[in-house]
Structure 1
Amino acid sequence: MTLWLFTSWVLLLLLQLCFLHHHADATYSSNETDRLALLEFKSMISDDPLGFLSSWNDSAHFCLWGGVSCSERHDRVAVLDLNSRGLSGSISPHIGNLTFLKQLHLYNNTFRSSIPPEIGRLRRLQVLRLSNNSLSGEIPSSISGCSALADLDVGKNNLTGTIPQELGLLNELQFLNVERNLLTGTIPSSFGNLSLIQEIRVSDNQLSGRVPEALGLLKNSLEQLMLHINYFDGEIPPSIFNLSLLIYLTLGHNQLQGNLPWNLGTLLPNLEYFYVAGNELTGSLPTSLSNATNMVQLQLQFNNFTGSVPSMASSRNLLRFSIGGNSLGGGEDGDDLGFLSSFAGARNLEALVIDTNNFVGSLPEQIGNLSSSLLLLDFSTNQIPGSIPESIRNLVSLQWLWGHENKLSGTTVLSTVANVPSLVDLRLYNNQIPGSIPPSIGNLGSLTVLRLADNRLEGEIPAAIENCRRLINLDLSNNNLSGGIPPQIMGLTSLSIVLNLSHNHFNGGIPVEVENLKNLNSLDLSYNMLSDNIPSSLGKCGSLEFVRLQANLLQGRIPSTLDLLKGIQLFDVSSNNLSGQIPRFFENMNFLRLLNLSYNKFEGEVPASGVLKNASIISLIGNDKVCGGLPELNLPLCSFRRPKKKLSYKWKVVISTISSLVFMVIVASCLSVLWMKRKGKQAMVSSDGFDMRVSYQSLHKATDGFSEANLLGAGSFGSVYKGVVDMNGKNTTIAIKVFNLQRRGAAKSFMAECEVLKNIRHRNLVRIVTVCSGVDYQGNDFKALIYEFVVNGSLENWLYATESVDDPPRSLNFRQRLDIVIHVASALDYIHNLCETPIVHCDLKPSNVLLDEDMVAHVGDFGLAAFLQPSVVNLSSDGTASSSIGIKGTVGYAPPEYGMGNEISIQGDMYSYGILVLEMFTGRRPTDESFIGGLNLQKFVNNALSEQRSTIREVLDPILFTELSLLRNSEEDVVSIFKIGVACSSDSPQERPSISEVLTKLNKLLA
């Protein structure tokens, strides 16, 4: 018996050992499967710029690898989180072997290729986020195998094909995002089975067909339905309006037709964002909108709505109300605008847009009762007569007032709006406003755009307009204004877009003060009665591209100083009394597209080389004394009389003697220069491309011996001093960059900057005056660049200003920062795309951006700049230079590829620009001490933008928090700016946008 018990115990023990061994083998095998799957995943990563996957090796258990989290019970991979790591490559099919995976986060990288269908094996997967990559191919239908999936996000990729019907089998799905892809087809009707779904985002694709009626079955869960920017047609299914839990409903920019239900406001009581703009909807606006108490944004613009606008008195939470671009109004009672009074209760209203309708009747006096937070009021392109109520002065935050293309005729219109000092953009053109421009217009010190064209204004322009020192666009054309053009207008150095005074009755000459408009792009003084000569000072307006002076009484010659206008595209002086020969400098204006010299008194030979080889760009009709030129111009041949006379013996002796003397003087001068240098005396020369001479002695005197009191700053290759010199008979403040020639590369930097700056001129580049190259009092080589002094210093000092007695606290507001990034982008666009040979700056950073008295930005310090060889530009797809450089910018601003020895490129400048943009709006340097563990400025912003629940305040410069109303109204625009900065500073050069693309986006934001 005892033996039997012992035998049984031994057998039981052996069975347990076998079981434990088998279980251990199974566990080891399962763990090994996960380890191998992760290594296979890593093997398909082509770029890991942060080295995040360097921990994925056998020195540690895979559960300790970066981004990997394992379940405590099984030691199996439960979470793989590699978001925002800059990873490139493909997603390995072996991902399907991580069978215990619950969350997969790969968003905000640059994964390419397709989504592997093996993901469908992950039956425990709950969260799949692959957004903001470069994935292509179709969405695999096998994802329906992830039966536990609650969050599916594949937005912002390049996915094609249709949305799989099988996604309707995901019974646990709560969030679905496929927006911003290239998907076609329609929304599967199977989506009606997603009984737990809360958000559906399919916007910004190429989907078409009808919106499925089956979506109306989701009334117990759906809160956000975003279908905008597609090609959906037909009527909006009535079942959509049964989704009573909806908070967001965006159907804008499709081809939808039909009417909105009359009881919309009752059917969707929770609706906060209703966006149906850009469709073909008809009928009246539902009166039940007055019940939409939770409405925050109501955007119905660009449809075919008719009739009257209902009261919005109950919508006290409204921020934006837009019904522009319809056919509303036109009622017989002439009181279409009574509904405006109903917005008095919306105390947070920021934008009220009713433009391009048929509204008649005067603006109600109650308009002054609107929200004190109102920023934009747009009632343009209607039939609104009369005046603007004086109560508008109560709108203390109003910045954009657009009332153009109406029938305003009140004599007090301009004096009334002059009482709204916060105005930034005033557009009242194409009305019937009479009388003179009141001097009170000078109260609008923040004004950047003033457009009063096509009215009945008369009299002189008041001198008080000089107080509008931020104007960039001034258009007073097509009025009855008279008198001389006041020099105060020419003192508005902020003007950079347009100065248009055409089609008036101005007389006298063009003020010589026109030279102050150095940043102006377009000057139009045509169709007036201007006389006298074209002032030579016009040649100092180096940023001009369009000059229209036609149909005046101008006389004399075209001044030779206009040869400085290298960027001219259109020059029209037709129908004047100009005379003399046609200047040959027009041949060298490489951007010239139209030169109209018709109906003047020009004479002599017509230039026919350079850009004037193209006969289509020049017009000479009505000049009877010109000759030659291209055959296509059909001008008579020029006849020249050149009598041949033999020189007498006496003249030959005289000429020979003088030549010998000149030769001897030259030789003596050269010897004298060499002797002076050896003795330590000064000897200065002027570099090619700079006409003015300046000596070491004059610079020494101007800076009080280069004293520390005049030191503005120091850089890698030298120091910058402030000085005052005599130029053309008057004292002029200049900035002098003295190179430390003991530093390696300083001489090369001097030559590079000379070579670049003598060939370029743009309103957003620091202007070089001349150079100094010679020896100092000790006989040492001396080299300096002399710049136009920029009074407000560097952007660096404004971003990180410290309070002191001598330096009061300074800061930049949101609008100023936006202007500056546009100015810098304009400068880069010029050197990248508009110069004959593209230029790479190579050292863009805040200390190299200077701000003038009007806060216009000027990019400087081209000491590291390089030309791209034309052959390289033509043959290379990525715009790289033909050789690398030794110094490649500043830490934090230099692109990562330069650190790996890559050649300089335009994309390198784009990286620096992106960092600059992010720095300006976050208030953090790229070398901030808080950026550790692989985090940098780009990742800091990108991570915050990627978190769905994050707010813009998490990354925004705290100084901007005080502009609360602007932030609320422009949060999407601020996000757009951050996205531009993030895109430009991508680790991959191929992913960075061009500066032209960036400028287009920024100008839209500015508008």
Structure 2
Amino acid sequence: MTLFFFSLFFFCSHALVSLGSSNATGDELALLSFKSMLSTPSKVSLASWNMSSHFCSWQGVVCGRRHPDRVVSLHLSSFDLSGRISPFLGNLSFLQKVELGNNQLVGHIPPELGRLSKLQELNLSTNFLQGSIPVAMGGCTNLMVLDLSNNQLQGEIPSVIGASMKNLVQLYLRKNLLTGVIPQSLAELSSIELLFLSHNNLDGEIPSALGNLTNLLSIGFSNNMLSGAIPSSLGMLPNLSMLSVGFNNLTGPIPTSIWNISSLTVLSVSRNMLNGAIPPNAFDNLPNLQILYMDHNHFHGHIPASLANASNLFMIVLGANPFSGIVPKEVGELRNLNRLVLTDSLVGAKEPKDWEFITALTNCSQLEVLILGICEFNGTLPDSLSNLSTSLKILSLSANAISGSIPKDIGNLFNLQVLDLAYNSFTGNLPSSLAKLKNLQKFFVNDNYINGSFPLAIGNLRYLISLYLMSNAFSGRLPNTLANMTMLSELYLANNNFIGTIPSGLFNISTLSIGLDLSYNSLEGSIPQEIGNLKSLAKFNAESNKLSGEIPAALGECQGLRYLFLQNNILNGNIPGHLSQLKSLQRLDLSSNNLSEVPTFGVFANATAISIQHNGKLCGGMPAMHLPPCPLQLPKNKHKLLVIPIVTSLVGTLIILVLLYKLLTWHKRNKTEIPSITTMQRQRHPLISYSELVKATDGFSATNLLGSGSFGTVYKGELDGQLGESTNVVAVKVLKLQTPGAMKSFVAECEALRNLRHRNLVKIVTTCLSIDHNGNDFKAIVYEFMPNGNLEGWLHPDTDGQMEQKFLNLIERVSILLDVAFALDYLHCHGLAPVIHCDLKPSNVLLDADMVAHVGDFGLAKILVEESSTVQQSMSSMGLKGTIGYAAPEYGAGNVVSTNGDIYSYGILVLEMVTGRRPTDSTFREGLSLREYVELALHNGTMDVIDTRLSLSLENEFQGVGEGDSSQNRKTDCLIALLKLGLSCSEELPSSRMPTADIIRELLVIKGSIL
């Protein structure tokens, strides 16, 4: 039947072409067939493919020299082609090269391509191809390069690839959904040089027979489920340059033979279960090694000094292993060293001589990242720390036991952006040379024993975003230079010995949004009225000081305030009613002051949300507070008795007016609240039956299928009049209860969304807990339907004929990013308790009829019970925390979830929306991430990484509307700003990531510039 269809199609195509030319050739017909199976926009890209010119002159078509009328190459990569690959390409019998990568092609790989016996290169990477790799491809016996990366191919790798394609030199199958084991037949590819199978679902062991492939240059097997040991036979590959097997389940030691591959430049074995000690002479024979990733395994013993023999090493990541001993000073001989990460190991320094490696590292002029946190370093930092490379951007020595003073010339590291010295035992004053760190954005020196006055030098660091000085022994007054830090978003000065008044200029830093903590000091005087300038401040903590005077009414203007702690001061007067304007306020503690009258409205109507005990003269408030009524201030002498009749009259009139108001309000409420009973019931999510959902979804038919995820399948449904409407279009998520974790996902999602109300969050309409027709448990969540699907479908459309519709212009992309930022800001900062989404990605961003974005799928969400609480206990059984590519790197290390993790995912989302590339895109070479791809591009040729369709849209806009250079430059600047925003949000160090308030502020500026 299939053969008949293709024959009929070929006959019709031939007939149509013959109307224009009786001399049409088979190659011409095959090309026209290829074009005919593309969607309309793609045909526009191939406008030159028509009968008015010879097909050998068509764009992307190359014909041979010896056979000038036969097609030998198709160069159509990055042509924005969509549709299916025509099987008639198999008729181009002289074809030697096919490049169709980086398009939007869908469907299966035609087995007819296996007829191309002369084919040498086939590139179908970065499309949306599905199904299995055809066995018929074994007919391409001359194939040298096969690249099927970054598709959605499934099934096993056919053994025919190794058995028939004996000339294969490069094989790329990474970033698909391939399963099964690595076939032994690949060991027959005697010519193979590059072998990349990473980012699949392959299991089993690495075939030891691969050690016979003496031409192999690179092996990329990372991000699979491979188990067993690394075969020692791989050490027999004399030309191997890269061995990447990280993110698997490999066990045992690294074979001794691996340390003898002198050609090795990249060795990556991160995040396995490898163990054993690294031999002392391990790196003696690796002079070409450049990148070494061995973190998150079970390696033990000392870090070998032979590292220095790998003289080309520029990146070393060994953290999260039980390495012991000291850092060998020989590491300092690596002149090209760019990054050294030993976090969370047992290496350390106890004696002065143990710090010699720091002095040695001064030879590494390229060093940008030095992270030695959570190790066992103690003793005093050597002065040579100040002589490290001026290229250094991140220096972290946190959570050690280092004592003594911070080196006085640390300001020599003038390019530092992050300086983390927290949780140590540093003493003395902060050095004045800190004033030289003009680029410093994050400074953490909390939980030490540093003393002296607040350093004026810090007040001149204008780019500082985060400043942590709490839990030290600072004294003296807070300087007015604090007001100079105009980009500060969080300032923590608690648990010190500061005295004097709070400088009013501090409250002119409008960027202060995350927190301002002045608690446990000896500050006095009143709280400045200027505090009302901090509109976005989420937390203000000034407890346990000597603050006096009245609470300023201006606090009511801090609309972002969630936590307000003023207890243990000597504040007096009435509690201002303006505090009732703080709609986001969750916790208020005014206890242990000299306050008097308590309001009865706003947050004060909820006795459980506030703490006011130990205020001796308190009166008023709600009955639940059990406070005495506030007495009228009657006159104390007889001369004032004349006022009593007037006061009595006024009070009587006031009482009558209040009674009348109450009566009118009661009457109005009785009239208006009757219809709202149904609304209230609806808000409480009334359960719906299984049979009703069967009817609504037409028996959960395939035509109503919207998508499927790990824990559930989503269908479109119509609930006839069941929710107060004539017809309700909904999305029904049916839980896959047989999947481990599905029930926990159901509970987490319901719990997370139960008390959340925001325009940018998906809305639960109702739920179903029932039994299906087979007597099995059935659970479903019914959501408000989103007509425009999810963001994934717009960024990476994969349906024929949809390309002209599924496109987002620049302003739409920025608006969606703003919507998602608003949702995160609400989840993290403005709900009843902070909620962490844990799985933010394009497929979980839904778009309504007006293209307003709604964040959905809270199946992995975590709720923080208190502001200072963690979710350590729940994490132990959580398993995977998000989706590969979007999940924060610290989650892979087993760290507890945090709001910073969501910010990382958001940063990747920003980069994906601007570049049009997924973080798992196969176009990134092994070891390169989306973030690094963008970071490199920002230095040379930004527009090269912009989503091709977006870039073309802007070009057409400029030409069509005739916009000037200034408008073009403005929009280009906006694209650069978006890329920088994505990079800032996806920083490797969680504390370096941009908070939601700053994200929103930045996006509003970008949107305003575009408009």
Change (3 A) 1:912 1:300: closer
Measured after TM superposition, the shift of residue 348 of structure 1 is 1.5
Q: Distance in 2 between matches of 1:134 and 1:535?
A: 60
Residue 316 (1) aligns with residue 311 (2): yes
Tell me the alpha carbon deviations over residues 332-388 of structure 1, each in whole angstroms, 9 at most, x when there is no partner.
Answer: xxxx23x12x13432221122222211233311633542122222222222222222
- Does the CA contact (< 8 Å) of 1:107 and 1:133 recur in 2? yes
Change (3 A) 1:510 1:57: same
Residue 1004 (1) aligns with residue 982 (2): no
Q: Tell me the secondary structure at the aligned position of residue 69 of structure 2.
A: coil
> What pairs up with 1:430-509 in 2 under 5 angstroms?
430-496=423-489, 498-509=490-501
Residue 409 (1) aligns with residue 403 (2): yes
Residue 77 (1) aligns with residue 95 (2): no
Measured after TM superposition, the shift of residue 489 of structure 1 is 2.4
- Does the CA contact (< 8 Å) of 2:251 and 2:275 recur in 1? yes
Measured after TM superposition, the shift of residue 29 of structure 1 is 9.9
The AA in structure 2 aligned to 1:238 is S
- Does the CA contact (< 8 Å) of 1:124 and 1:146 recur in 2? yes
Measured after TM superposition, the shift of residue 877 of structure 1 is 6.2
Q: 1:149 aligns with which of 139, 143, 149?
A: 143
Change (3 A) 1:289 1:153: same
Measured after TM superposition, the shift of residue 524 of structure 1 is 1.9
Measured after TM superposition, the shift of residue 295 of structure 1 is 0.8
Residue 196 (1) aligns with residue 196 (2): no
Tell me the alpha carbon deviations over residues 24-54 of structure 1, each in whole angstroms, 9 at most, x when there is no partner.
Answer: x9xx999543333322322232252793212
Q: Distance in 1 between matches of 2:914 and 2:625?
A: 54
Q: Tell me the secondary structure at the aligned position of residue 197 of structure 1.
A: coil
> What pairs up with 1:211-360 in 2 under 5 angstroms?
211-218=206-213, 220-266=214-260, 268-286=261-279, 287-311=281-305, 312-330=307-325, 336-337=326-327, 339-340=328-329, 342-360=330-348
Q: Distance in 1 between matches of 2:373 and 2:555?
A: 40
Measured after TM superposition, the shift of residue 485 of structure 1 is 1.7
Match of 1:739 in 2: none
Q: Tell me the secondary structure at the aligned position of residue 101 of structure 1.
A: coil
Q: Distance in 2 between matches of 1:161 and 1:348?
A: 43
Measured after TM superposition, the shift of residue 583 of structure 1 is 4.7
- Does the CA contact (< 8 Å) of 1:151 and 1:176 recur in 2? yes
- Does the CA contact (< 8 Å) of 2:236 and 2:257 recur in 1? no
Q: Point out the structure with max Rg over C-alpha.
A: 1
Match of 2:11 in 1: none
Match of 1:123 in 2: 117
Match of 2:663 in 1: none
Match of 1:186 in 2: 181
Q: Distance in 2 between matches of 1:180 and 1:209?
A: 18
Comparing 365-374 and 257-266, the one that deviates more: 365-374
**Matched positions, count:** 695
> What pairs up with 1:643-658 in 2 under 5 angstroms?
645=649
- Does the CA contact (< 8 Å) of 1:443 and 1:467 recur in 2? no
Q: Tell me the secondary structure at the aligned position of residue 249 of structure 1.
A: strand
Measured after TM superposition, the shift of residue 948 of structure 1 is 7.7
Measured after TM superposition, the shift of residue 410 of structure 1 is 2.0
- Does the CA contact (< 8 Å) of 2:218 and 2:241 recur in 1? yes
Measured after TM superposition, the shift of residue 326 of structure 1 is 1.1
> What pairs up with 1:385-424 in 2 under 5 angstroms?
385-397=378-390, 398-411=392-405, 413-424=406-417
Higher RCO structure (Cα 8 Å, ≥6 apart): 2
Q: Tell me the secondary structure at the aligned position of residue 161 of structure 2.
A: helix
Match of 1:864 in 2: none
Q: Tell me the secondary structure at the aligned position of residue 441 of structure 1.
A: helix
Match of 1:39 in 2: 32
Match of 1:553 in 2: 546
Match of 1:955 in 2: none
Comparing 498-507 and 55-64, the one that deviates more: 55-64
Match of 2:376 in 1: 383
Q: Tell me the secondary structure at the aligned position of residue 313 of structure 1.
A: helix
Measured after TM superposition, the shift of residue 271 of structure 1 is 0.3
Match of 2:715 in 1: none
> What pairs up with 1:922-937 in 2 under 5 angstroms?
none
Measured after TM superposition, the shift of residue 608 of structure 1 is 4.8
Match of 2:511 in 1: 519
Comparing 560-569 and 503-512, the one that deviates more: 560-569
The AA in structure 1 aligned to 2:499 is N
Measured after TM superposition, the shift of residue 248 of structure 1 is 0.6
Q: What TM-score results when the alignment is normalised by the length of structure 1?
A: 0.62
Measured after TM superposition, the shift of residue 223 of structure 1 is 0.5
Match of 1:105 in 2: 99
Change (3 A) 1:120 1:877: farther
- Does the CA contact (< 8 Å) of 1:49 and 1:987 recur in 2? no
Q: Distance in 2 between matches of 1:192 and 1:50?
A: 42
Change (3 A) 1:612 1:374: same
Q: Distance in 2 between matches of 1:917 and 1:293?
A: 40
Unaligned runs of 5+ in 2: 1-17, 633-645, 654-811, 827-845, 855-906, 955-974, 990-1011
Residue 139 (1) aligns with residue 130 (2): no
> What pairs up with 1:843-854 in 2 under 5 angstroms?
none
Comparing 126-135 and 544-553, the one that deviates more: 544-553
Match of 1:785 in 2: none
Q: Tell me the secondary structure at the aligned position of residue 499 of structure 1.
A: strand
Match of 2:700 in 1: none
Change (3 A) 1:646 1:350: closer
Q: Distance in 2 between matches of 1:155 and 1:112?
A: 14
- Does the CA contact (< 8 Å) of 2:813 and 2:913 recur in 1? no
Q: Distance in 1 between matches of 2:417 and 2:292?
A: 25
Change (3 A) 1:372 1:92: same
Q: Distance in 1 between matches of 2:488 and 2:134?
A: 55
Q: Distance in 2 between matches of 1:281 and 1:973?
A: 37
Measured after TM superposition, the shift of residue 634 of structure 1 is 5.7
Change (3 A) 1:627 1:37: farther
Q: Distance in 1 between matches of 2:385 and 2:292?
A: 23
Q: Distance in 2 between matches of 1:544 and 1:827?
A: 24
- Does the CA contact (< 8 Å) of 2:943 and 2:951 recur in 1? no
Measured after TM superposition, the shift of residue 512 of structure 1 is 0.3
Q: 2:355 aligns with which of 341, 346, 363?
A: 363
Q: Distance in 2 between matches of 1:977 and 1:564?
A: 41
Q: Tell me the secondary structure at the aligned position of residue 235 of structure 2.
A: helix
Match of 2:867 in 1: none
Change (3 A) 1:482 1:328: same
Change (3 A) 1:948 1:66: farther
Match of 1:175 in 2: 170
Q: Distance in 1 between matches of 2:125 and 2:577?
A: 58
Change (3 A) 1:49 1:600: farther
Q: Distance in 1 between matches of 2:979 and 2:933?
A: 26
Residue 982 (1) aligns with residue 947 (2): yes
Q: Tell me the secondary structure at the aligned position of residue 363 of structure 1.
A: helix
Match of 1:372 in 2: 365
The AA in structure 2 aligned to 1:489 is L
Tell me the alpha carbon deviations over residues 294-352 of structure 1, each in whole angstroms, 9 at most, x when there is no partner.
Answer: 1111121221111112122322211112212111114xxxxx23x12x13432221122
Q: Distance in 2 between matches of 1:637 and 1:119?
A: 89
